[in-house]
Protein backbone atom coordinates (compact mmCIF):
# COMPACT_ATOMS: atom_id res chain seq x y z
CA UNK A 1 0.00 0.00 0.00
CA UNK A 2 1.20 3.53 -0.76
CA UNK A 3 2.65 5.28 2.32
CA UNK A 4 0.26 8.22 1.93
CA UNK A 5 -2.66 5.81 2.32
CA UNK A 6 -1.33 4.27 5.55
CA UNK A 7 -1.88 5.53 9.06
CA UNK A 8 1.29 6.40 10.98
CA UNK A 9 3.52 5.87 7.93
CA UNK A 10 5.36 9.13 8.64
CA UNK A 11 5.71 9.69 4.91
CA UNK A 12 7.38 12.81 3.52
CA UNK A 13 5.62 14.02 0.37
CA UNK A 14 6.38 16.62 -2.29
CA UNK A 15 3.58 19.16 -2.68
CA UNK A 16 1.95 19.87 -6.03
CA UNK A 17 3.17 23.38 -6.93
CA UNK A 18 2.26 25.24 -10.11
CA UNK A 19 5.23 25.85 -12.42
CA UNK A 20 7.50 24.07 -9.92
CA UNK A 21 6.51 20.40 -9.57
CA UNK A 22 7.46 19.34 -13.08
CA UNK A 23 8.89 15.94 -13.98
CA UNK A 24 12.59 16.83 -13.60
CA UNK A 25 12.03 18.32 -10.15
CA UNK A 26 9.87 15.40 -9.07
CA UNK A 27 12.58 12.93 -10.12
CA UNK A 28 15.16 14.88 -8.14
CA UNK A 29 12.98 14.87 -5.03
CA UNK A 30 12.28 11.14 -5.35
CA UNK A 31 16.03 10.53 -5.61
CA UNK A 32 16.47 12.54 -2.42
CA UNK A 33 13.90 10.50 -0.49
CA UNK A 34 10.43 11.89 -1.19
CA UNK A 35 8.00 9.04 -0.52
CA UNK A 36 5.41 10.36 -2.99
CA UNK A 37 5.29 13.17 -5.54
CA UNK A 38 2.40 14.97 -7.22
CA UNK A 39 2.12 16.73 -10.55
CA UNK A 40 1.35 20.42 -10.52
CA UNK A 41 -2.42 20.91 -10.48
CA UNK A 42 -4.13 20.44 -13.83
CA UNK A 43 -7.40 21.99 -14.98
CA UNK A 44 -10.17 19.44 -15.51
CA UNK A 45 -11.49 21.55 -18.39
CA UNK A 46 -8.11 21.45 -20.13
CA UNK A 47 -7.86 17.70 -19.55
CA UNK A 48 -11.20 16.89 -21.15
CA UNK A 49 -10.23 19.10 -24.12
CA UNK A 50 -7.01 17.06 -24.37
CA UNK A 51 -4.92 20.23 -24.44
CA UNK A 52 -1.20 20.03 -25.12
CA UNK A 53 -0.46 21.74 -21.79
CA UNK A 54 -2.46 19.23 -19.76
CA UNK A 55 -0.83 16.27 -21.53
CA UNK A 56 2.60 17.76 -20.86
CA UNK A 57 1.83 18.27 -17.16
CA UNK A 58 0.60 14.68 -16.81
CA UNK A 59 3.72 13.16 -18.38
CA UNK A 60 5.98 11.34 -15.95
CA UNK A 61 8.80 8.81 -15.81
CA UNK A 62 8.55 5.42 -14.10
CA UNK A 63 11.32 6.52 -11.73
CA UNK A 64 8.92 9.08 -10.24
CA UNK A 65 6.57 6.47 -8.80
CA UNK A 66 4.67 6.55 -6.58
CA UNK A 67 3.06 9.58 -8.21
CA UNK A 68 -0.30 11.28 -8.04
CA UNK A 69 -1.96 13.48 -10.66
CA UNK A 70 -3.70 16.46 -9.05
CA UNK A 71 -6.82 17.84 -10.73
CA UNK A 72 -9.04 20.84 -10.06
CA UNK A 73 -12.27 22.21 -11.46
CA UNK A 74 -15.69 23.63 -10.74
CA UNK A 75 -17.94 21.30 -12.77
CA UNK A 76 -18.76 17.75 -11.75
CA UNK A 77 -18.94 16.54 -15.34
CA UNK A 78 -15.50 17.91 -16.13
CA UNK A 79 -14.02 16.45 -12.94
CA UNK A 80 -15.49 13.05 -13.79
CA UNK A 81 -13.97 13.23 -17.27
CA UNK A 82 -10.65 14.48 -15.92
CA UNK A 83 -10.46 11.56 -13.51
CA UNK A 84 -10.92 9.17 -16.43
CA UNK A 85 -8.22 10.96 -18.42
CA UNK A 86 -5.87 10.89 -15.44
CA UNK A 87 -6.51 7.19 -14.89
CA UNK A 88 -5.61 6.47 -18.52
CA UNK A 89 -2.17 7.92 -17.82
CA UNK A 90 -1.67 5.25 -15.14
CA UNK A 91 -0.60 7.22 -12.07
CA UNK A 92 -0.65 5.62 -8.62
CA UNK A 93 -3.44 7.87 -7.37
CA UNK A 94 -5.52 10.95 -8.19
CA UNK A 95 -5.63 14.00 -5.92
CA UNK A 96 -8.34 16.67 -5.88
CA UNK A 97 -7.32 20.25 -5.19
CA UNK A 98 -9.87 21.81 -2.83
CA UNK A 99 -7.35 24.27 -1.41
CA UNK A 100 -5.93 26.66 -4.03
CA UNK A 101 -6.69 30.22 -2.83
CA UNK A 102 -5.85 32.02 -6.09
CA UNK A 103 -8.69 34.21 -7.43
CA UNK A 104 -8.55 32.92 -11.02
CA UNK A 105 -9.20 29.41 -9.67
CA UNK A 106 -11.76 30.35 -7.02
CA UNK A 107 -13.87 32.40 -9.45
CA UNK A 108 -14.48 29.17 -11.40
CA UNK A 109 -15.83 27.49 -8.24
CA UNK A 110 -12.66 25.41 -8.05
CA UNK A 111 -9.91 25.01 -5.47
CA UNK A 112 -10.80 26.49 -2.10
CA UNK A 113 -14.13 27.80 -3.45
CA UNK A 114 -15.57 24.43 -2.42
CA UNK A 115 -14.97 25.39 1.22
CA UNK A 116 -17.94 27.77 0.83
CA UNK A 117 -20.18 24.94 -0.36
CA UNK A 118 -19.48 21.64 1.36
CA UNK A 119 -22.31 19.99 -0.55
CA UNK A 120 -20.54 20.78 -3.80
CA UNK A 121 -17.27 19.47 -2.33
CA UNK A 122 -18.95 16.22 -1.33
CA UNK A 123 -20.51 15.74 -4.76
CA UNK A 124 -17.27 16.58 -6.52
CA UNK A 125 -15.30 14.11 -4.40
CA UNK A 126 -17.87 11.38 -4.95
CA UNK A 127 -17.88 12.01 -8.68
CA UNK A 128 -14.12 11.55 -8.93
CA UNK A 129 -14.14 8.45 -6.70
CA UNK A 130 -16.87 6.90 -8.86
CA UNK A 131 -14.96 7.67 -12.06
CA UNK A 132 -11.82 5.69 -11.26
CA UNK A 133 -10.52 2.50 -9.69
CA UNK A 134 -7.45 4.41 -8.44
CA UNK A 135 -7.18 5.71 -4.87
CA UNK A 136 -8.40 9.31 -4.60
CA UNK A 137 -6.93 11.79 -2.12
CA UNK A 138 -7.74 15.42 -1.32
CA UNK A 139 -5.74 18.53 -0.47
CA UNK A 140 -7.64 21.36 1.19
CA UNK A 141 -7.43 24.14 3.80
CA UNK A 142 -8.84 24.68 7.27
CA UNK A 143 -11.80 26.64 5.94
CA UNK A 144 -12.81 29.61 3.83
CA UNK A 145 -12.16 32.02 6.72
CA UNK A 146 -11.98 31.93 10.51
CA UNK A 147 -15.77 31.79 10.77
CA UNK A 148 -16.04 28.69 8.58
CA UNK A 149 -13.38 26.35 9.97
CA UNK A 150 -15.21 23.02 9.84
CA UNK A 151 -12.27 20.79 9.08
CA UNK A 152 -13.53 17.88 11.20
CA UNK A 153 -16.84 17.89 9.35
CA UNK A 154 -15.03 18.15 6.02
CA UNK A 155 -12.73 15.23 6.85
CA UNK A 156 -15.56 12.92 7.89
CA UNK A 157 -17.59 13.92 4.84
CA UNK A 158 -14.70 13.21 2.48
CA UNK A 159 -13.99 9.91 4.21
CA UNK A 160 -17.62 8.89 3.65
CA UNK A 161 -17.31 9.91 -0.01
CA UNK A 162 -14.46 7.43 -0.48
CA UNK A 163 -11.43 9.69 -0.13
CA UNK A 164 -8.44 7.64 1.04
CA UNK A 165 -6.18 10.34 2.51
CA UNK A 166 -6.51 14.02 3.41
CA UNK A 167 -3.81 16.69 3.20
CA UNK A 168 -4.57 19.94 5.01
CA UNK A 169 -2.77 23.24 4.53
CA UNK A 170 -3.09 24.82 7.96
CA UNK A 171 -4.37 28.19 6.81
CA UNK A 172 -7.78 29.42 5.66
CA UNK A 173 -8.45 30.64 2.15
CA UNK A 174 -8.72 34.22 3.42
CA UNK A 175 -5.19 33.95 4.87
CA UNK A 176 -3.70 32.99 1.53
CA UNK A 177 -0.07 32.36 2.40
CA UNK A 178 0.15 35.10 5.04
CA UNK A 179 0.66 34.64 8.75
CA UNK A 180 1.77 31.43 10.38
CA UNK A 181 0.31 28.03 9.60
CA UNK A 182 -1.94 26.93 12.47
CA UNK A 183 -0.47 23.59 13.37
CA UNK A 184 -2.67 23.21 16.45
CA UNK A 185 -5.49 22.17 14.12
CA UNK A 186 -3.64 19.00 13.11
CA UNK A 187 -4.00 17.42 16.55
CA UNK A 188 -7.60 18.65 16.68
CA UNK A 189 -8.24 16.93 13.35
CA UNK A 190 -6.43 13.71 14.26
CA UNK A 191 -8.56 13.47 17.43
CA UNK A 192 -11.79 13.54 15.41
CA UNK A 193 -14.03 10.65 16.55
CA UNK A 194 -14.62 8.23 13.69
CA UNK A 195 -11.87 9.58 11.42
CA UNK A 196 -9.73 6.74 10.11
CA UNK A 197 -8.09 8.04 6.93
CA UNK A 198 -4.50 9.35 7.12
CA UNK A 199 -3.96 13.07 7.68
CA UNK A 200 -1.01 14.75 5.95
CA UNK A 201 0.20 18.09 7.35
CA UNK A 202 1.14 20.99 5.06
CA UNK A 203 2.15 24.59 5.65
CA UNK A 204 5.42 26.12 6.93
CA UNK A 205 7.23 22.79 7.28
CA UNK A 206 10.71 24.10 6.62
CA UNK A 207 13.11 21.95 8.66
CA UNK A 208 13.55 18.37 9.92
CA UNK A 209 12.70 19.67 13.39
CA UNK A 210 9.36 20.96 12.09
CA UNK A 211 8.52 17.55 10.66
CA UNK A 212 9.47 15.75 13.86
CA UNK A 213 7.36 18.12 15.95
CA UNK A 214 4.32 17.48 13.79
CA UNK A 215 4.73 13.72 13.89
CA UNK A 216 5.32 13.55 17.62
CA UNK A 217 3.10 16.33 18.95
CA UNK A 218 0.10 16.23 16.61
CA UNK A 219 0.05 12.61 15.46
CA UNK A 220 -0.21 13.36 11.74
CA UNK A 221 0.52 10.46 9.43
CA UNK A 222 2.71 12.35 6.99
CA UNK A 223 4.06 15.76 6.06
CA UNK A 224 3.89 17.52 2.69
CA UNK A 225 6.82 19.75 1.78
CA UNK A 226 6.33 22.69 -0.56
CA UNK A 227 8.49 25.82 -0.55
CA UNK A 228 11.27 24.22 1.50
CA UNK A 229 11.99 21.79 -1.37
CA UNK A 230 12.38 24.47 -4.04
CA UNK A 231 16.08 24.64 -4.82
CA UNK A 232 16.74 22.32 -1.88
CA UNK A 233 15.63 18.75 -2.71
CA UNK A 234 17.88 17.53 0.11
CA UNK A 235 15.08 18.40 2.55
CA UNK A 236 13.57 14.91 2.11
CA UNK A 237 16.88 13.21 2.89
CA UNK A 238 17.40 15.52 5.86
CA UNK A 239 13.98 14.79 7.36
CA UNK A 240 14.25 11.02 6.99
CA UNK A 241 17.74 10.99 8.50
CA UNK A 242 16.67 13.14 11.44
CA UNK A 243 13.61 11.00 12.09
CA UNK A 244 15.71 7.82 11.96
CA UNK A 245 18.72 8.98 13.98
CA UNK A 246 17.91 12.27 15.73
CA UNK A 247 20.94 13.70 13.94
CA UNK A 248 20.95 16.74 11.67
CA UNK A 249 22.92 16.27 8.47
CA UNK A 250 25.38 18.98 7.42
CA UNK A 251 24.24 21.11 4.49
CA UNK A 252 25.36 20.06 1.02
CA UNK A 253 28.72 21.42 -0.07
CA UNK A 254 29.05 24.18 -2.62
CA UNK A 255 30.14 21.62 -5.22
CA UNK A 256 27.09 19.44 -4.47
CA UNK A 257 24.76 22.41 -4.84
CA UNK A 258 26.23 23.52 -8.14
CA UNK A 259 26.17 19.99 -9.57
CA UNK A 260 22.59 19.37 -8.46
CA UNK A 261 21.45 22.71 -9.87
CA UNK A 262 23.14 22.00 -13.20
CA UNK A 263 21.68 18.49 -13.28
CA UNK A 264 18.17 19.83 -12.73
CA UNK A 265 18.67 22.49 -15.40
CA UNK A 266 19.76 19.87 -17.95
CA UNK A 267 16.76 17.70 -17.10
CA UNK A 268 14.45 20.71 -17.33
CA UNK A 269 15.72 21.58 -20.81
CA UNK A 270 15.47 17.94 -21.92
CA UNK A 271 11.86 17.84 -20.73
CA UNK A 272 10.58 21.28 -21.77
CA UNK A 273 12.96 22.42 -24.50
CA UNK A 274 15.59 25.09 -23.91
CA UNK A 275 13.43 28.22 -23.82
CA UNK A 276 10.82 26.99 -21.34
CA UNK A 277 13.23 24.69 -19.51
CA UNK A 278 15.44 27.66 -18.60
CA UNK A 279 12.39 29.66 -17.48
CA UNK A 280 11.11 26.82 -15.28
CA UNK A 281 14.39 26.78 -13.36
CA UNK A 282 14.24 30.43 -12.33
CA UNK A 283 12.22 29.73 -9.18
CA UNK A 284 14.87 27.32 -7.94
CA UNK A 285 18.08 29.35 -8.13
CA UNK A 286 17.42 31.47 -5.04
CA UNK A 287 17.42 28.47 -2.70
CA UNK A 288 20.23 26.64 -4.47
CA UNK A 289 22.40 29.71 -3.86
CA UNK A 290 21.08 30.59 -0.40
CA UNK A 291 23.82 31.07 2.17
CA UNK A 292 26.58 31.16 -0.44
CA UNK A 293 28.90 34.15 -0.45
CA UNK A 294 28.32 36.11 -3.68
CA UNK A 295 25.30 33.90 -4.38
CA UNK A 296 23.01 36.86 -5.04
CA UNK A 297 25.43 38.22 -7.62
CA UNK A 298 25.58 34.84 -9.33
CA UNK A 299 21.80 34.56 -9.34
CA UNK A 300 21.49 37.97 -11.03
CA UNK A 301 23.94 36.88 -13.71
CA UNK A 302 22.07 33.61 -14.25
CA UNK A 303 18.71 35.37 -14.59
CA UNK A 304 20.08 37.36 -17.52
CA UNK A 305 20.95 34.21 -19.47
CA UNK A 306 18.60 32.30 -21.74
CA UNK A 307 20.92 29.49 -22.85
CA UNK A 308 21.52 26.40 -20.75
CA UNK A 309 25.23 26.15 -21.60
CA UNK A 310 25.86 29.74 -20.48
CA UNK A 311 24.14 29.11 -17.14
CA UNK A 312 26.00 25.85 -16.52
CA UNK A 313 29.28 27.58 -17.31
CA UNK A 314 28.49 30.20 -14.66
CA UNK A 315 27.62 27.51 -12.11
CA UNK A 316 30.73 25.45 -12.76
CA UNK A 317 33.08 28.42 -12.81
CA UNK A 318 31.58 29.73 -9.61
CA UNK A 319 32.30 26.42 -7.91
CA UNK A 320 36.01 27.11 -8.44
CA UNK A 321 36.00 30.57 -6.87
CA UNK A 322 37.71 30.74 -3.46
CA UNK A 323 35.03 33.15 -2.23
CA UNK A 324 32.22 30.77 -3.12
CA UNK A 325 31.82 28.97 0.18
CA UNK A 326 28.72 27.79 1.96
CA UNK A 327 28.09 29.51 5.25
CA UNK A 328 25.68 28.54 8.01
CA UNK A 329 22.16 29.92 7.60
Positions annotated as catalytic residues are 100
Is residue 152 marked as binding? no
Q: Which residues are CB-contacts of 42 (< 8 A; sequence separation ≥ 6)? A: 54, 57, 58, 69, 70, 71, 72, 82, 86
The whole-angstrom separation of Cα 81 and Cα 108 is: 17
Is residue 227 marked as binding? yes
8 A C-beta contact, residue 160 and residue 192: no
Is residue 143 marked as binding? no
Cis peptide before 39 (omega within 30 of 0): no
Is residue 70 marked as binding? yes
Is residue 27 marked as binding? no
Distances (CA, A) of 251 to 26, 240, 255, 257, 270: 21, 14, 11, 9, 28
Task: Name the binding residues.
Answer: 70, 139, 169, 226-227
Q: Binding-site residues for FMN, please?
A: 70, 139, 169, 226-227
Amino acid sequence: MLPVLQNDSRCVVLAPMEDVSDSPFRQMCRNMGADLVYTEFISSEAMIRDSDASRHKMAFEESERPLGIQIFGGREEAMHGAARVAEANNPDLIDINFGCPVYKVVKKNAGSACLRDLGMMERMAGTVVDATHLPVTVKTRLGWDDKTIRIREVALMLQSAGIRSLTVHARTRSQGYKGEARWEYFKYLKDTPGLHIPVIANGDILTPQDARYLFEETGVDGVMIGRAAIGYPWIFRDIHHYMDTGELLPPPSLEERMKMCAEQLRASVDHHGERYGVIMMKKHYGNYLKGIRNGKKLRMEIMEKDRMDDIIELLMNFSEEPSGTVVAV
